[in-house]
């Protein structure tokens, strides 16, 4: 017969919470308490208004003492909310905190049922299950792990930069990894930011510079994380540093090598300028790039392709910074916390072919226009179209790839404001007639509505309607040579044809193309839309379900710069909170092999994705490394001879729970069964 | 001279192999016969039911009952021996878990009767005659044929189990020694080791640590390599989910273990556990790929519950999709 | 099919649901927070990962009187513990065939991938499953076991009577 815990007979204290009206409004809590009193081993059964309150918890601690209880069951809200609270109360009463079981009769019962009778019956079944289960709980010790004080931040856009500075100023050592050759992210590409119309570079570059110079920040640009292992407080991360073929230590960013390059002019589409200009094989993304170091593109550099270049760049460099032999390096670091601030990508407007992006040269995406109006952009801030003309009319189409069940359902939050901003800037640069085609104007932030008001005074035209099509087919002679925007103007109920010289598509924000790969590497989840998933949308927007890993900025969902900075600060605060606590408690729901039960059949060895199970060759048995075990229990279910046990989720405990759920009308079973 | 302990052997729905295993004690049987008084062993000598009835209640030290229970006669004898005996040992797989006859639990009584008495290829029964339990008039009666096969402990209280199809003589000898010693293990113990067969399997070292399955092969479909782990060759072997103690005899015969010793004490359903262990290591991750691999195990119930169907959690197939 | 007698007795399907902590259990909580009312017939057992699902639990639930068993886990590729749900999927596919062979209707056993943000899916899955199981009627294995074992009762009395005769 199965071995008992070796405990004294269970003496269970049962408590059911009214939770004000939340539970008691549907479930007859008095009846549940009365019912619980009839269950085996239940010595005390009470109902109380708010079990999580101090007096509620005191009921538990007092009863443990006075009624000599050795098990506690609380029926109230979700264990995801208060399991910890009641474990602490149990411990305060002098018991091991794991002699506690929680029953969810709020989220799972009273909040999803209106039928009081059915809800009460369901609650009673769940209570009986918990009473059966807790009777076979064992005492367990929580593991304490020390937290490594260093932090890794992945992605150095405005969010990553802000988080890095916050943590570095608090005295923590930060490694900031950025896959592009420069930090700054999307914000570095913008011209002006709404609603203040601050120059983006002007407010960003001081922060970029601070990052570069901060003694506590190690900046690894042009680098990517390749592997993550470990657990909260003890992560080991491998970072691949891609070769620039230029020494970061020696290059001072004078850029004379670029002038000297055998290519007289650039032939490769410039990534930073969204392909609107060309660059040479040796280049720097933009003049204020941080770090201010050039790099060489091996795909287009003649020296790499043929080995026979004159290498005028090397000649010119009086620092001897160019090194064609530079190799990729893999570095390994240990950190206690990780912040992911990997940003977003813009919606690819080619997915909406009827807007003509990629077909008509004068249809632009918003990010391309940011570069056009930027003084350091491909046209030095002059509004010149691909065909050389200056536009006299511009149409800005909102919600491209957003709020659309054919592409992305969500609202990308920033596009209305940046469309208004671009409207203003385009008008300012060219005095063109500007039309904004919108569905709603979402101007919810501080001073945003006022910004919109100002635009209305600038004689920008607003047409409410979802644009059906951008076409070059002319219906009338005046339309020749223009792009026609066809839209139903819903305010007046008429389908209009608006001829423009330039179309700007307000493309939405999407998760990065490799978001799924990245999140798997860090073992966090994504929401259905593909953005990184926060632990709670309201109460824990920067935590993830993986302890020690935080998210900030647009990678968590579309948002503007103020919100990104706020989240970055929040993530830094969470990381600080973890690190300064010094150590963290881990739930002891790990699995272990009972050595005398193991037959060495090897069924479990390859099952563990964390490689926590190995074979002791001397003993010919499996053994689990407790530090690596994350407590999923997959090996326990796999073991064909029942030799592996999982703390908190033992077979016997789950079988007891199943029995308790169903035994309402258990007939006498013949033989065998105990 | 004190009376020697009295023992009885009986066979229910049995092939006789368990009785043979006692005979297989060879010379050791002399020691047994010297130590105990065999009061009842119908397979060996002409014992009658009345021989049991005349024993006082509890007069036997141990009754070793093999075979599954299917008829009312077997139930009656089991209950009788239970009264007359201090200890009852469920001897062999059939008594332990239902055994091979237990596979009949995949059919209902009517299906079985119809097949055996009418539909089987070698039966000629134009009148559709069926056995009748009694003709009346005090004529001969037949025992009732129950609706399902039962393990012994589903009919009477069982003290110990000796696993195996049949049990190995070495373990029988050890069991008798234990029972006679007076130092009895806890009631309900299976008298054998409590780890999986792989522990004593000579092919264990050849099983890779990262074994994953793309297809399974039934023993007749492949030439099984000697000295290589059967699972590593894609042949379903119940070894990991089966209690050891037999010395891995089937493996020595170059055939897979089929699970006759039943599960270890920590497992409630042997078939479910081997299913879990094997399925978990299927290589494919997509539903179609997984199904394709698993389709090469054509009969999961028969394969995983070859000896243990009545003793499993579900006990029998529920009549036509319930 | 549910008999009228069963309906008259007020039989309600009893579903045991094994939900993984990170995805499906969280989604069930979300359904609660969002007040998405649904059928009360499912009783949830929380496990850390769908990979913890031992087929024995499913069989035991049926044997003890469950009319249906539901398993909820993270979508493939999203398992909090990387691959536990793949193991669950593989076991479930074989277990489904085995349950077929044991005469338990497919609609009584279900595996559903439900992520932490899919509170609505918890509601629709439970409602749908309860409807299907209700149409099938009770499985009621404990009652069936007791029923089948009754065939041995008549014998008890006969044996008792016989042995009385012998000692009389």
Q: Within this chain, do residues C166 and C152 fall inside the same structural domain, yes or no?
A: yes
In a domain, C1, yes or no: no
Of the two residues A548 and C167, the one the predictor is more confident about is A548
Strand (E) or helix (H) holding B10:
strand B6-11
- Give Cα C149 to chain centroid, integer Å: 23
Across A371-385, A395-409, A500-514, A656-670, least confident range: A656-670
Tell me, yes or no, whether C130 and C161 share the same domain: no
Question: Which residue, among B205, B196, B201, B277, has the nearest Cα to B244 in the 3D structure?
Answer: B196
Residue B125 to residue B35: CA distance in whole angstroms: 51
Give yes or no for B259 touching A (CB within 8 A).
no
Residue A6's pLDDT is 42
Which residue does chain B place closest to C166, by CA atoms? B53
Q: Are residues C156 and C92 in the same domain?
A: no
What are the tens digits of pLDDT across the range C137-154? 999 999 999 989 998 887
Residues of chain A with a CB closer than 8 angstroms to some CB in chain B: 1-2, 596-603, 605-607, 615, 620, 634, 637-643, 651, 655, 670-672
DSSP letter at A445? S
Query: What's the average model confidence in pLDDT over A495-515?
Result: 97
Share of chain A above pLDDT 70, in %: 97
> CA A357 → CA A352, A400, A435, A473, A507, distances in Å?
8, 11, 18, 15, 11
pLDDT score at B150:
97
Contact B155, B80 (CB under 8 A): no
- A2 has pLDDT over 80: no
- What is the domain range of residue C164? 140-168
Query: Cβ–Cβ of A641/B154 closer than 8 Å?
Result: no
3-state secondary structure of A604: coil
**Closest by Cβ to A641, choosing from B154, B240, B280:** B240
C3 lies in some domain: no
Nearest-10 crossing angle of helices C141-149, C55-63: 60
Which residues in chain B touch residue A1, judged by CB atoms under 8 angstroms apart? 186-188
* Neighbour-count burial for A325-364, b at 16+ CB within 10 Å, e otherwise: ebeeeeeebebbbbbbbbbbbbbebeebeebbbeebebbb
Regarding whether C58 and C118 lie in a shared domain, the answer is yes
Contact between residue A487 and residue A466 where contact means Cβ atoms under 8 Å apart: yes
pLDDT at residue C2 in the model: 52
Asked whether residue C33 is assigned to any structural domain, the reply reads yes
Does C127 reside within a domain?
A: yes
Which residues of chain B, if any, have pLDDT below 50? 322
pLDDT the model gives residue B40:
94
Of residues A4 and A69, more confidence is placed in A69
Q: DSSP secondary-structure letter at B235? A: B
Contacts of A132 (CB under 8 A, 6+ apart): A40, A656, A657, A659, A660, A663
Q: Which of B155, B291, B316 sits opposite C93 (nearest CB)?
A: B291
Q: Are residues C46 and C92 in the same domain?
A: yes
**pLDDT recorded at residue B33:** 86
Asked if the structure places residue C4 within a domain, the reply is no
The yes-or-no verdict on residue C45 having pLDDT over 80 is yes
Distances (CA, A) of A331 to A211, A226, A399: 20, 10, 42
pLDDT attached to residue C164: 52
pLDDT value, residue B173:
92
- Report whether pLDDT(A339) > 80: yes
d(CA A48, CA A30): 9
Is C154 inside any structural domain? yes
- On whether the CB atoms of residues C85 and C50 are closer than 8 A, the answer is yes
Domains of chain B from N-terminus onward: 6-100+147-181 (3.40.50.700), 197-304 (no CATH)
Average pLDDT, chain A: 93
Question: Number of helices and strands (H, E) in chain A?
Answer: 16, 34
**Mean pLDDT of all residues in A21-48:** 95
Q: How far is CA C76 from the centre of its chain?
A: 22
Q: Which residues in chain C have Cβ-Cβ distances shorter than 8 Å to A546? A: 80
Looking at residue A527, its pLDDT comes to 82
Given this model, what pLDDT does residue B204 score? 96
Shared domain check, C125 and C92 = yes
Dihedral angle, C-alpha A288, A290, A292, A297, nearest 10 °: -100
What is the predicted pLDDT for the residue at A584?
85
Helices B270-280 and C84-101: angle between axes, nearest 10 degrees: 140
Partner B, chain C 73-132, Cβ-Cβ below 8 Å: 76, 86-87, 89-91, 93-95, 97-98, 101-105
C85 and C161 share one domain = no
Identify the burial level of B195 via C-beta atoms within 10 angstroms of its C-beta, where 0-12 means exposed, 13-18 middle and 19 or more buried. Answer: buried
- Residue C23 belongs to a domain with what CATH number? 3.40.50
- ∠ CA A654-A657-A663, rounded to 5°: 135
Which pLDDT score is estimated for B270? Answer: 98
**Do residue C120 and residue C167 come from a single domain?**
no
Query: What pLDDT is stored for residue A144 in this prediction?
Result: 87
Contact (CB, 8 A) for B9 and B32: no
∠ CA A605-A237-A149, rounded to 5° = 115
Say yes or no to pLDDT of A196 above 60.
yes
- What is the mean predicted confidence (pLDDT) over C109-125? 95
Quick one: pLDDT band at residue A535, thresholds 50, 70, 90?
confident
Q: What is the CA radius of gyration of chain B?
A: 22
- Taking chain C, what is the end-to-end CA distance rounded to the nearest angstrom? 52
Q: Domains of chain A (ranges plus CATH)?
A: 12-142+655-662 (3.40.50), 144-242+328-344+512-582 (3.50.50.60), 256-316 (no CATH), 346-510 (3.50.50.60), 590-646 (3.30.70.20)
> Which chain A residues are Cβ-neighbours of C66 within 8 angstroms?
661-662
C-alpha A370/C-alpha A200 separation (Å) is 11
Q: Do A637 and C51 touch (CB under 8 A)?
A: yes
Q: Say whether pTM exceeds 0.90.
A: no
3-state secondary structure of A400: strand
C23 three-state secondary structure: helix
**Position C157 confidence tier, pLDDT thresholds 50, 70, 90:** low
Is the pLDDT at C67 greater than 70? The verdict is yes
Q: Give the residues across from A174 on adjacent strands.
A: A151, A217
H helix or E strand, kind and range, residue C15 = strand C15-20
- The number of distinct structural domains making up chain C is 2
**Do C96 and C53 share a structural domain?**
yes
Q: Which of A78, A520, A658 sits opposite C61 (nearest CB)?
A: A658
ipTM summary value: 0.95
pLDDT at A17 over 60: yes
Beta-carbon contacts of residue B156 (< 8 Å; ≥ 6 apart): A671, B78, B79, B82, B88
Domain contains C83 = yes
Number of Cβ pairs closer than 8 Å across A and C? Answer: 160
* HSE-up of residue A130 (Cα within 13 Å, Cβ side): 31
- Sign, CA dihedral A635-A638-A641-A647, equals positive
Strands A234-241, A329-335: pairing kind: antiparallel
Q: Which of C11, C24, C40, C94 to mutate to test the interface with A (most CBs of A within 10 A)?
A: C40
C5 within some domain: no
> Does pLDDT of A7 surpass 80?
no
Q: What is the mean pLDDT of chain C?
A: 89
Mean pLDDT within A593-598: 97
As a whole number of angstroms, the distance between CA A320 and CA A221 comes to 21
> How many helices (H) and strands (E) are present in chain C, helices listed first?
7, 4
Among all residues of chain B, which has the CA nearest to that of C1?
B322
pLDDT higher than threshold 70 for residue A625 = yes
pLDDT, tens digit, for every residue of A385-397?
Answer: 999 999 999 999 9
**Cα distances (angstroms) measured from residue B140 to each of A22, B130, B296:** 71, 15, 49
Whether A92 shows a pLDDT value over 70: the answer reads yes
* Residue A666 predicted with pLDDT over 50: no
Burial (CB count <10 Å: 0-12, 13-18, 19+), residue B236: buried
Residue B266 touches chain C, beta carbons under 8 Å: no
**Closest chain C residue to the Cα of A630, Cα to Cα:** C81
Distance CA A637, CA A384 (A): 66
Instruction: For residues C53-73, give the mean pLDDT.
Output: 97
A122, A630, A658 ranked by CB distance to C40: nearest: A122
Same domain, C102 and C162: no
Are C35 and C106 members of one domain? yes
Residues C125 and C151 in one domain: no
């Amino acid at each position: 017969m199965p071995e008992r815990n070796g405990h004294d007979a269970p003496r269970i204290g049962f408590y059911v919470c009214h939770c004000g009206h939340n539970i008691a409004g549907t479930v007859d809590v008095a009846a549940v308490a009365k019912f619980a009193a009839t269950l085996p081993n239940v010595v005390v059964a009470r109902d109380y208004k708010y079990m999580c309150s101090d007096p509620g918890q005191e009921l538990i601690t007092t009863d443990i003492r006075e009624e000599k209880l050795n098990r506690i069951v609380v029926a109230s809200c979700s264990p995801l909310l208060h399991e910890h609270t009641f474990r602490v109360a149990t411990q305060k009463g002098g018991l091991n905190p794991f002699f506690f079981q929680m029953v969810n009769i709020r989220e799972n019962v009273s909040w999803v049922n209106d039928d009081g009778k059915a809800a009460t019956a369901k609650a009673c079944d769940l209570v009986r299950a918990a009473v059966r289960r807790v009777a076979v709980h064992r005492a367990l010790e929580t593991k304490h792990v020390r937290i490594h004080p260093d932090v890794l931040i992945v992605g150095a856009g405005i969010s990553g930069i802000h988080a890095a500075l916050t943590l570095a100023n608090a005295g923590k050592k930060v490694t900031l990894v950025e896959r592009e050759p420069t930090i700054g992210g999307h914000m570095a590409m913008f011209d002006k930011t709404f609603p203040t119309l601050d120059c983006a570079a002007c407010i960003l570059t001081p922060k970029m510079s601070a990052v570069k110079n901060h003694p506590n920040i190690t900046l690894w640009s042009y680098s990517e994380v390749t592997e993550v292992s470990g657990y909260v407080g003890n992560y080991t991360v491998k970072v691949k540093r891609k070769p620039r073929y230029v020494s970061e230590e020696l290059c001072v960013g004078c850029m004379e090598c670029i002038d000297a390059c055998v290519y007289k002019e650039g032939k490769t589409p410039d990534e930073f300028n969204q392909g609107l200009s060309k660059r040479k094989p040796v280049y720097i993304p933009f003049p204020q790039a941080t770090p201010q170091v050039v790099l060489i593109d091996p795909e287009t550099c003649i020296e790499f392709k043929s080995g026979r270049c004159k290498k005028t760049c090397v000649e010119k460099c009086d620092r001897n910074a160019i090194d064609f032999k530079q190799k990729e390096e893999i570095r390994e670091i240990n950190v206690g916390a990780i912040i992911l601030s990997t940003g977003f990508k813009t919606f690819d407007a080619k997915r909406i072919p009827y807007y003509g992006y990629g077909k008509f040269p004068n249809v632009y995406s918003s990010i391309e226009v940011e570069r056009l109006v930027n003084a350091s952009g491909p046209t030095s801030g002059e509004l010149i179209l691909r065909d050389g003309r200056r536009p006299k009319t511009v149409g800005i189409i909102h919600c491209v790839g957003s709020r659309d069940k054919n592409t992305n359902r969500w609202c990308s939050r920033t596009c209305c404001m940046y469309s208004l901003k671009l409207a203003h800037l385009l008008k300012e640069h060219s005095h063109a007639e500007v039309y904004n085609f919108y569905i709603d104007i979402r101007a919810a932030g501080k001073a945003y509505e006022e910004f919109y008001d100002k635009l209305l005074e600038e004689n920008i035209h607003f047409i409410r309607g979802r644009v059906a099509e951008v076409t070059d087919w002319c219906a009338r002679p005046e339309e020749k040579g223009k792009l026609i925007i066809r839209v139903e103007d819903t305010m007046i109920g008429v389908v209009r044809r608006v001829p423009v010289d330039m179309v700007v598509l307000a493309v939405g924000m999407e998760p990065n193309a490799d978001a799924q790969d990245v999140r798997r590497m860090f073992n966090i989840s994504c929401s259905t839309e593909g953005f990184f998933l926060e632990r709670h949308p309201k109460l824990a927007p920067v935590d993830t379900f993986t302890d020690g890993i935080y998210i900030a900025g647009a990678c968590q969902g579309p948002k503007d710069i103020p919100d990104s900075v706020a989240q970055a600060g929040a993530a830094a605060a969470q990381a600080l909170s973890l690190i300064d606590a010094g150590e963290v408690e881990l739930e002891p729901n790990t699995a272990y092999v009972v050595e005398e039960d193991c037959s060495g059949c090897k069924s479990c060895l390859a099952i563990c994705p964390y490689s926590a199970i190995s074979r002791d060759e001397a003993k010919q048995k499996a053994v689990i490394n407790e530090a690596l075990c994350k407590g999923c229990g997959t090996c326990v279910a796999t073991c064909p001879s029942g030799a592996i046990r999982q703390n908190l989720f033992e077979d016997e405990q789950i079988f007891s729970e199943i029995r308790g759920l169903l035994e309402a009308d258990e007939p006498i079973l013949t033989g065998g069964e105990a | 001279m004190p009376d020697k302990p009295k023992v009885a052997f009986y066979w229910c729905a049995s092939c006789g192999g368990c009785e043979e295993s006692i005979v297989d004690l060879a010379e050791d049987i002399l020691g047994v016969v010297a130590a105990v008084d065999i009061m009842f062993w119908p397979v060996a000598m002409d014992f009658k039911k009345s021989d049991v009835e005349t024993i006082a209640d509890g007069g036997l030290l141990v009754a070793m009952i093999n075979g599954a229970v299917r008829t009312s006669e077997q139930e009656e004898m089991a209950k009788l021996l239970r009264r007359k005996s201090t200890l009852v040992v469920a001897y062999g797989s059939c008594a332990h878990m239902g055994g091979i006859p237990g596979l009949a639990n995949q059919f209902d009584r009517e299906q079985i009767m119809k097949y055996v008495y009418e539909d089987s290829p070698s039966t000629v029964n134009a009148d559709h005659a069926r056995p009748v339990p009694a003709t009346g008039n005090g004529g001969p009666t037949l025992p009732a044929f129950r609706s399902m096969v039962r393990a012994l402990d589903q009919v009477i209280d069982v003290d110990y189990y000796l696993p195996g199809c049949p049990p190995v003589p070495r373990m029988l000898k050890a069991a008798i020694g234990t029972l006679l010693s007076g130092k009895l293990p806890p009631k309900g113990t299976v008298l054998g080791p409590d780890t999986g067969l792989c522990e004593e399997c000579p092919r264990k070292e050849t099983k890779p640590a990262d074994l994953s399955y793309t297809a399974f092969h039934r023993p007749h479909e492949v030439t099984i390599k000697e000295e290589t782990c059967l699972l590593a060759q894609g042949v379903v072997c119940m070894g990991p989910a089966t209690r050891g103690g037999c010395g891995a005899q089937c493996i020595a015969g170059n055939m897979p273990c089929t699970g006759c010793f039943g599960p270890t004490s920590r497992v409630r359903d042997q078939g479910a556990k081997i299913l879990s262990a094997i399925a978990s290591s299927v290589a494919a991750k997509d539903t179609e790929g997984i199904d394709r691999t698993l389709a090469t195990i054509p009969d999961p119930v028969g394969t995983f519950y070859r000896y243990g169907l009545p003793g499993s959690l579900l006990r029998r197939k529920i009549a036509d999709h319930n | 099919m549910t008999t009228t007698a069963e309906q008259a007795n007020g039989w309600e399907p009893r579903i045991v649901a094994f939900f993984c902590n990170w995805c499906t259990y969280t989604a069930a909580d979300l359904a609660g927070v969002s007040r998405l009312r649904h059928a009360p017939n499912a009783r949830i057992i929380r496990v850390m990962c769908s990979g913890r699902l031992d087929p024995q639990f499913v069989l035991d639930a049926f044997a003890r009187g469950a009319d249906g068993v539901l398993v909820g886990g993270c979508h493939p590729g999203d398992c909090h513990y990387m691959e536990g749900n793949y193991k669950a999927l593989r076991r479930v596919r074989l277990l489904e065939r085995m349950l077929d062979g044991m005469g338990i209707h497919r609609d009584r056993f279900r595996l559903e991938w439900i992520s932490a943000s899919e509170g609505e899916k918890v509601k629709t899955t439970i409602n749908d499953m309860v409807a299907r199981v209700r149409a099938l009627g009770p499985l009621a294995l404990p009652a069936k076991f007791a029923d089948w074992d009754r065939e041995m009762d008549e014998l008890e009395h006969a044996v008792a009577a016989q042995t009385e005769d012998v000692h009389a």
